[in-house]
Amino acid sequence: MATAVSIAAEREHYLNKEYGIRSWLLTTDHKRIALLYLASITFFFFIGGFFALLIRLELLTPAGDLVQADTYNKLFTMHGVIMVFFFLIPAVPAVLGNFLVPLMIGARDLAFPKINLLSWYCYIAGGILVLHAMLTGGLDTGWTFYTPFSTAFSNTAVVEAGLGVFINGFSSILTGLNFIVTIHRMRAPGLTWSRLPLFLWSHYATSVIMLLGTPVIAITLVLVVLERAFHLGIFDPTRGGDPLLFQHLFWFYSHPAVYIMILPSMGVVSEIVTCFSRKRVFGYYFVAMASIGIAVIGFFVWAHHMFVAGMSLYAALIFSILSYLVAVPSAIKVFNWTATLYKGSVSFSTPMLYAFGFIGLFTMGGLTGLFLAALGIDVHVTDTYFVVAHFHYIMVGGTVMGYLGGMHYWWPKISGRLYPESWGRLAALIVFLGFNLTFFPQFILGYLGMPRRYWQYPPEFQVLNVLSTAGSTILAVGYLLPMVYFLWSMRYGKLADDNPWNAAGLEWKTTSPPPTFNFEETPVVTWEAYNYNELPALEEVRVER
């Protein structure tokens, strides 16, 4: 063991090249920035998760007996704001994307390394503002900030939190900008568009949404902040302002935002499923185009969040039909991933378990989207726990599972270490079971009529709420385990070699961890993506001798 450690210690890579806090806080190495993001989003994930646990604890009983109503309203608001803006949106792109995009295209870094660092500081500045708002009174508008409640009635730190989310938006914009320019301009020789790994197609599509959508929420929040601070009347009904204008502006971003949250994880799943089936993805071109399709059509469905808001009947029809259209590319992807397993050579590694979980749970979540897009049904279930269950299936059953799968898959590349496989599989199973127990009852609760954002509820809803809370405790354990064993592995894990999974992709053609400039020589690509026919079989996970 000592020999292996000293061999690794001799080789210079991005982690040991420089030590000290300045070398991290002033780094422009995309890999270090990815780890800065990893630390910060993990921090926010646990804060948001803690709020979720408090919410579920309160909901164990019908009466409001754990916290006061105002506190509860702040809890679900902060849970939403933190999870959406400070975890789900950055998680895969800012951690895995930042780390892998240059590696996957054979470049030395992203196009704008300093802007990459700036994006992290925007994230941190926004996060500090939001945390401060939280600690000095909280926010109780819901993560959706609907007017006129947020502009004229709430007594909480709307201005500060709004500014915090606004500044954080620049993190998205700058990240997306970096990815697009990098993918366009810095691909290694021979890496044509049709040879790109699907992870990059997903991140490209995600970046388009980040760039076109985030500025709209930015201006919307600015208008809310200005209205509150300077008594403007843009959304004030007593002066002729229209609360629905806010909703249109808000959802114009926030619907595409959910595609920002899911597309990167879909890219991760494509990488994992191919590696652990040892074959090219079924229908590469269709999966790539489906990502673009989701991004484009996703901009035209926003008002399906507003079917009962006071919209015209005919507008509702248009948004309903478009919402069905956007479901088609997602379905295509699910079928293609499943078909990739056919006649493959399938292993049940931890990343693959997460990928299976993703496919199943995303399918269920997506199918429940069909319920919501059906106008007649939406009238009954909108603003109830049905919607809550739907989006948690996609965001937690989908995005988080994809994120965890990706973290496990690329952990050897990122850290140079292997995580303990049995613990990995156990955690994946616990997450899957805990997740379903938490959120499946909520579909039933919603159809039975339990509205969302309710601190207290009628007693007939209790049994299902208890089941849901029980599930959430199990889910929490499932999330804590990887925290523990990833940290453990950084010191005690087996050292990984360049390509422990025998995977395709340029990132595996350099050392684990990579050197600061990624490649000794710029690679020249002469092969198609997912060339598993040219790679050896996955015998066992390879460790460094």
Partner 1 sequence: MFDNFPLWPVRASTTAGSVDALYIFLVLLSAFMSVAIFIMITIFALRYRRRAGREAEQIDGSNVLEFTWSIVPLAIFMVIFVWGARIFFLERTPPRGAAEIYVVAKQWMWKLQHEEGQREINELHVPVGRDVRMIMTSQDVIHSFYVPVFRIKQDVIPGRYTTAWFRATRPGTYHLFCAEYCGTQHSGMIGQVVVMEPAQYQAWLTGGAASGSMAANGQSMFLQLGCNTCHRFDTQGRGPDLVGLFGNKVQLEDGRTIAADENYIRESILNPSAKLVSGFKPIMPVFQGLVSEEQLTALVAYVKSLTPQASGAAGSPSLISPGKQPQEPKE
Partner 2 sequence: MSDSPAPLALEHTPGLQHHFADMEQQRNASSLGMWIFLGTEIMFFGGMFLAYLVYRMWYFNEFAAGSRTLNLPIGAVNTAVLICSSLTVALSVRAAQLGKRMLLVTLLVLTILFGLVFLGVKAYEWNEKFTEHHVPGYSFHFKQESTEKPVDQGRAQIFFSLYFAMTGMHALHMIIGVGIFGVITWMAWRGRFTPEYHTPVEIAGLYWHFVDIVWIYLFPLLYLIDRRPHG
Q: Which of residues 383-442 bind partner 1 (CB under 8 A)?
A: 383-384
* Single-letter amino acid code for the residue at 36: L
Contact with partner 1 (CB under 8 A): which of 24, 121, 324, 423?
Answer: 324
Which residues lie closer than 8 Å to 463 by C-beta, 6 or more apart? Answer: none
Nearest CA-CA partner of 175 in 95, 218, 119: 119
Return the bridge partners of 543, or none.
496
Q: Quick check: 399 binds partner 2 (CB under 8 A)?
A: no
Scanning 9-17, 94-102, 208-216, 238-246 for contacts with partner 1 by CB under 8 A, the matching segment is: 238-246
- Determine the Cα–Cα distance for residues 456 and 470; give it in Å rounded to an integer: 18
Residues 509-528 touching partner 2, rule: CB under 8 A, are: 516-517, 520-522
Shortest gap between Cβ of 109 and partner 2 (angstroms)?
4
Ramachandran assignment for 311, one of left (phi > 0), alpha (psi -120 to 50 degrees), beta (any other): beta
- Determine the Cα–Cα distance for residues 163 and 90; give it in Å rounded to an integer: 18
Shortest gap between Cβ of 347 and partner 1 (angstroms)?
5
Shortest gap between Cβ of 240 and partner 1 (angstroms)?
8
Residue among 46 and 286 whose Cβ is closer to partner 1: 286
Using the Cα atoms of residue 473, residue 479, residue 483 and residue 485 in order, give the sign of their dihedral: positive
Q: Quick check: 29 binds partner 2 (CB under 8 A)?
A: yes
- Determine the Cα–Cα distance for residues 252 and 319; give it in Å rounded to an integer: 12
Residue among 235 and 530 whose Cβ is closer to partner 2: 235
**What are the structure tokens assigned to 382, written together?**
């909108």
* Single-letter amino acid code for the residue at 465: N
The upper half-sphere exposure of residue 107, i.e. CA atoms within 13 Å in the direction of its Cβ, equals 24
Q: Quick check: 28 binds partner 2 (CB under 8 A)?
A: yes
Contact with partner 2 (CB under 8 A): which of 4, 5, 136, 184?
Answer: 184
Q: Quick check: 243 binds partner 2 (CB under 8 A)?
A: no
234 binds, among partner 2, partner 1, none (CB under 5 to 8 A by kind): partner 2
Contact with partner 2 (CB under 8 A): which of 137, 142, 148, 215?
Answer: 215
- Determine the Cα–Cα distance for residues 128 and 533; give it in Å rounded to an integer: 49
**What are the structure tokens assigned to 237, written together?**
């009904």
Scanning 74-82, 176-184, 408-416, 419-427 for contacts with partner 2 by CB under 8 A, the matching segment is: 176-184
Q: Quick check: 298 binds partner 2 (CB under 8 A)?
A: no
**What are the structure tokens assigned to 93, written together?**
């792109």
Nearest CA-CA partner of 472 in 443, 433, 445, 446: 433
Residue among 103 and 437 whose Cβ is closer to partner 1: 437
180 binds, among partner 1, partner 2, none (CB under 5 to 8 A by kind): partner 2
Q: Quick check: 465 binds partner 1 (CB under 8 A)?
A: no
338 binds, among partner 2, partner 1, none (CB under 5 to 8 A by kind): partner 1
Contact with partner 1 (CB under 8 A): which of 23, 192, 194, 456?
Answer: 456
345 binds, among partner 1, partner 2, none (CB under 5 to 8 A by kind): partner 1
Residue among 233 and 458 whose Cβ is closer to partner 2: 233
Residue among 166 and 284 whose Cβ is closer to partner 1: 284
Q: Quick check: 444 binds partner 1 (CB under 8 A)?
A: yes
* Single-letter amino acid code for the residue at 217: I
Separation in Å, CA 409 to CA 59, 73, 419, 477:
36, 38, 10, 21
Q: Which residues of 319-349 are buried (b: 16+ CB within 10 A; e: fewer)?
A: bbebbeebbebbebbbebbeebbeebebbeb
Contact with partner 2 (CB under 8 A): which of 125, 152, 181, 448?
Answer: 181
Nearest CA-CA partner of 400 in 124, 46, 50: 46
Shortest gap between Cβ of 510 and partner 1 (angstroms)?
25
- Determine the Cα–Cα distance for residues 82 and 138; give it in Å rounded to an integer: 12
Which residues lie closer than 8 Å to 488 by C-beta, 6 or more apart? Answer: 420
Residues 359-388 touching partner 1, rule: CB under 8 A, are: 359-360, 363-364, 367-368, 370-371, 373-380, 382-384
**Coil vs helix vs strand at 244:** helix
Contact with partner 1 (CB under 8 A): which of 113, 137, 138, 243?
Answer: 243
Nearest CA-CA partner of 103 in 211, 196, 7, 209: 196
366 neighbors 327 (Cβ within 8 angstroms):
yes
24 binds, among partner 2, partner 1, none (CB under 5 to 8 A by kind): none
Residue among 159 and 361 whose Cβ is closer to partner 1: 361
Contact with partner 1 (CB under 8 A): which of 8, 117, 133, 316?
Answer: 316
Q: Quick check: 336 binds partner 1 (CB under 8 A)?
A: yes
Scanning 110-118, 128-136, 168-176, 232-240 for contacts with partner 1 by CB under 8 A, the matching segment is: 232-240
Separation in Å, CA 85 to CA 90, 164, 269, 291, 403:
7, 10, 22, 22, 16
Query: Where on the chain is the footprint of partner 2 (CB under 8 A)?
Result: 26, 28-29, 107-115, 173, 177-178, 180-182, 184-186, 211-216, 218-220, 222-223, 226-227, 230-234, 236, 238-242, 245, 249, 516-517, 520-522
